[in-house]
Amino acid sequence: MDECKDTWYPFSWFCPNCGAQLIGFKNAEGMIKVECKRCLAVSVRKVMGRRHNRIDVYAPKGQETVRTDITLL
């Protein structure tokens, strides 16, 4: 019987939208996609390097992203 040589490591971070803890695993492309159970926002995390992670947050269907640009006068 062939043993699976893949090692699954959990990646955890906090939802940027509501602060709930998210836990996910990498897929074949090296991306981690998790839906928050509390606010239903979808976070996609890509490990770019040893010290570089990219996290994209998508609003749930039916909701919009609120712009939070602050301009100082």
Per-domain residue ranges for the chain? 11-58
Which pTM was predicted? 0.70
CA distance 42 to 63: 12
pLDDT in tens, the chain (73 residues): 455 556 778 889 999 888 999 999 988 888 999 999 999 999 999 988 899 989 999 988 888 776 666 666 5
Which contacts of 16-25 are long-range, i.e. CB under 8 A and separated by 24 or more positions? 16/41, 16/43, 16/55, 16/57, 17/41, 17/57
